[in-house]
């Protein structure tokens, strides 16, 4: 696999384009990948390449690893901007996700009260009450919607379940004004299909959707590292500015990472 796996439960801190100094938490297998999507651009590779390890860390292992890292790091005067759940897959798929968030918030208050707690999620589990409640407790629930068209999402993000944008929008109702909408913009081709979520039709529909789901903030970005699908290309920052422009004019806070 040409992409990167995080071989630890806690990794970093790393400098994140979008989140500053970020201490990563990986609730997925340490030498594999576990996700309900299988995005063409996933930095962890395709799901099928990451099946050699399927063991997820126990809640006790996560607790010990997080507390050890946070206490050591902050003892040495390190400053963390955010504790970020990301790693080798979809963090909300961990069966103890809600409990893990609870103790993470406690540890944050104890060791790094200035740090935010962020979760990068594809939103596939937010229909579960305990997952939604946990995401509503963190500072930044960063939820992915890459297209306002199901067909494009299916080509680009390859959900491993029956994806429904209508259902996702319904599940997002409690998140209005509270979540960060995250969208990857790219162009390319995969298995004979053209993928382009930057066309006028795509962008117009994406803006309408963004206004409908009412995020607190929007993060748009493009490919930064090697991707498992080879024929994908970046979108320029100038183009992303144009994409986000009308929303920024309406007062939405938009972060663009190229
Ligand atoms: S949702 Fe995230 S972790 Fe899952 S395949 Fe897509 S980019 Fe990778």
Of 240, 137, 165, 161, nearest to 197 by C-alpha is: 240
> Atom of ligand 1 at shortest distance to CA of 86?
3
For residue 19, how many C-alpha atoms fall within 13 Å in the half-sphere facing its CB? 28
List the domain boundaries for the chain: 10-257
109-140 pLDDT, tens digit each: 999 999 999 999 999 999 999 999 999 999 99
255 DSSP 8-state letter: E
Which residue has 């696999």 as its token pair?
Answer: 1
Structural tokens at position 213: 């789901």
CA of 42 from ligand 1 middle (Å) equals: 5
> Atom of ligand 1 at shortest distance to CA of 144?
1
CB of 28 within 6 A of ligand 1: the answer is no
pTM: 0.96
CB of 210 within 6 A of ligand 1: the answer is no
Q: What pLDDT sits at residue 57?
A: 96
Q: pLDDT confidence of 3, banded at 50, 70, 90?
A: low
Three-state DSSP class for residue 107: helix
pLDDT above 80 for 77: no
CA of 243 from ligand 1 middle (Å) equals: 23
Structural tokens at position 109: 């208050």
pLDDT above 90 covers a percentage of the chain that reads 88
pLDDT above 90 for 22: yes
Beta-carbon contacts of 58 under 8 Å, excluding residues fewer than 6 positions away, are none
For 184-210, what is the mean pLDDT?
98
Q: pLDDT confidence of 1, banded at 50, 70, 90?
A: very low
Decide if 141 contacts 178 (C-beta within 8 A).
Answer: yes
Beta-carbon contacts of 16 under 8 Å, excluding residues fewer than 6 positions away, are 22, 82, 84
CA of 14 from ligand 1 middle (Å) equals: 19
Q: What pLDDT sits at residue 210?
A: 98
210-255 pLDDT, tens digit each: 999 999 999 999 999 899 999 999 999 999 999 999 999 999 999 9
Decide if 23 contacts 12 (C-beta within 8 A).
Answer: yes
Between residues 161 and 51, the one the model is more confident about: 161
Structural tokens at position 135: 């995401």
CB of 86 within 6 A of ligand 1: the answer is no
For residue 224, how many C-alpha atoms fall within 13 Å in the half-sphere facing its CB? 13
Q: What residue owns the CA closest to ligand 1's atom 8?
A: 42
> Atom of ligand 1 at shortest distance to CA of 157?
6
Domain 10-257: top CATH class: alpha beta
**Given its phi and psi angles, is residue 43 left (phi above 0), alpha (psi -120 to 50 degrees) or beta?**
alpha
CB of 38 within 6 A of ligand 1: the answer is yes
């Amino acid at each position: 696999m040409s992409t990167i796996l995080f071989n630890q439960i806690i990794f970093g801190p790393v400098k994140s384009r979008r989140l500053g100094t970020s201490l990563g938490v990986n609730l997925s297998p340490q030498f594999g990948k576990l996700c309900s999507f299988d995005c063409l651009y996933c930095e962890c590779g395709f799901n099928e390449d990451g099946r050699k390890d399927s063991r997820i860390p126990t809640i006790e292992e996560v607790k010990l690893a997080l507390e050890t890292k946070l206490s050591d790091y902050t003892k040495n005067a390190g400053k963390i901007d955010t504790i970020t759940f990301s790693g080798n897959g979809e963090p909300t798929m961990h069966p103890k996700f809600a409990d893990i968030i609870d103790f993470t918030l406690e540890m944050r208050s104890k060791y790094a009260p200035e740090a935010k707690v962020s979760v990068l999620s594809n939103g596939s589990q937010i229909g579960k009450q305990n997952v939604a409640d946990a995401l509503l407790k963190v500072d930044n629930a960063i939820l992915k919607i890459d297209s306002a068209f199901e067909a494009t999402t299916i080509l680009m993000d390859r959900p491993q379940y029956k994806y429904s944008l209508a259902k996702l929008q319904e599940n997002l109702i409690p998140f209005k004004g509270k979540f960060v909408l995250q969208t990857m913009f790219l162009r390319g081709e995969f298995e004979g299909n053209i993928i382009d979520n930057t066309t006028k039709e795509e962008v117009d529909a994406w803006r309408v959707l963004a206004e409908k789901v009412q995020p607190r903030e929007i993060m748009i970005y493009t490919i930064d590292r090697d991707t498992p699908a080879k024929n994908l290309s970046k979108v320029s920052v100038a183009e992303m500015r144009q994409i986000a422009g009308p929303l920024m004019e309406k007062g939405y806070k938009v972060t663009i990472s190229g």
